[in-house]
């Protein structure tokens, strides 16, 4: 099963670089990882790196994008298989916790204090879209002229990221379905109280 026009070398190089970045983030935090570190860890020439990516952030973004795509597929799969759940409020939560459990290392490299501002900002933006769509689907469009709906979205996103981070760094592992239940029962009340 050969890919058309995909040199094995480039694939291997890119994989090495992504893996190296994740390892290094977990080891010393995003901010203090240098391109030098990455190419050393990945055993890749300096010029090769720059022929693939414009810099550390570019490499990071590409990796984040593919993870996000995987998550998207998992979301669809989950929502399709569990019938009747699709229209439940905050349906994004469960699949996301599951996905995080399946890719714990990567998620830890992203959400904690290890991941940099770039990571946090990406995730925040992504989640905001997710939650906005979710609430629009379950509660309908926002009719009030004030920014109440937007406020609720930010509230939920912030809370979710905090819970996710805490859960990932927590020693005792709570199963995804339980943390999801906790989060949703808390968030639900908030939403219903205003939104």
The contact set with DNA (CB under 7 A) reads 2, 4-10, 12-13, 34-36, 43-48, 50-52, 54-56
* Between 51 and 124, CB nearer to its own copies: 124
Closest distance of CB 106 from its own copies, Å:
18
Piece in contact with its own copies (CB under 8 A), picked from 59-67, 81-89, 134-142, 183-191: 183-191
Long-range pairs for 143-152: beta carbons < 8 A, 24 or more residues apart:
148/194, 148/195, 149/195, 151/194, 152/190, 152/191, 152/194, 152/195
188 Rama sector, left if φ>0, alpha if ψ -120 to 50, beta otherwise: alpha
How many binding residues for its own copies (CB under 8 A)?
A: 40
* Between 50 and 166, CB nearer to DNA: 50
Per the structure block, which two tokens stand in for 4?
A: 């058309």
Positive or negative torsion for Cα 41, 45, 46, 50: negative
* Between 2 and 143, CB nearer to its own copies: 143
Binding mask 139-168 for its own copies (x = CB under 8 A): --------xx-xxx-xxxxxxxxxx-xx--
Which residues, numbered 70-129, are part of the site for its own copies (CB under 8 A)? 113, 116-117, 120-121
The listed partner (its own copies, DNA, none) that binds 50, CB under 5 to 8 Å by sort, is: DNA
Closest CA to 112 of 50, 181, 161, 152: 161
Closest distance of CB 52 from DNA, Å:
6
Distance (Å, rounded) from C-alpha 35 to C-alpha 50? 10
Closest CA to 63 of 108, 3, 110: 110
Distance (Å, rounded) from C-alpha 88 to C-alpha 76? 14
- Interface residue with its own copies among 170, 173, 175, 177 (CB under 8 A) is 170
The residues that touch its own copies, with contacts defined as CB under 8 A, are 29-31, 113, 116-117, 120-121, 147-148, 150-152, 154-163, 165-166, 170, 172, 179, 182-183, 185-194
């Amino acid at each position: 099963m050969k890919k058309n026009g995909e040199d094995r070398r480039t694939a291997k190089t890119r994989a090495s670089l992504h893996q190296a970045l994740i390892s290094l983030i977990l080891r010393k935090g995003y901010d203090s990882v240098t391109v030098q570190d990455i190419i050393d860890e990945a055993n890749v020439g300096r010029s090769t790196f720059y022929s693939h990516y414009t810099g550390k952030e570019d490499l990071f973004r590409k990796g984040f994008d593919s993870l996000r795509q995987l998550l998207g597929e998992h979301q669809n799969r989950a929502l399709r298989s569990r019938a009747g759940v699709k229209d439940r409020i905050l349906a994004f939560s469960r699949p996301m916790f599951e996905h995080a459990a399946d890719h714990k290392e990567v998620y830890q490299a992203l959400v904690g204090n290890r991941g940099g501002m770039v990571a946090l900002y990406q995730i925040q933006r992504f989640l905001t879209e997710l939650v906005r769509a979710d609430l629009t689907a379950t509660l309908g469009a926002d009719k009030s002229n004030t920014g109440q709906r937007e406020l609720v979205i930010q509230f939920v996103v912030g809370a979710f990221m905090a819970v996710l981070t805490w859960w990932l760094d927590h020693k005792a592992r709570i199963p995804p379905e339980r943390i999801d239940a906790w989060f949703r029962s808390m968030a639900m009340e908030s939403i219903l109280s205003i939104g």
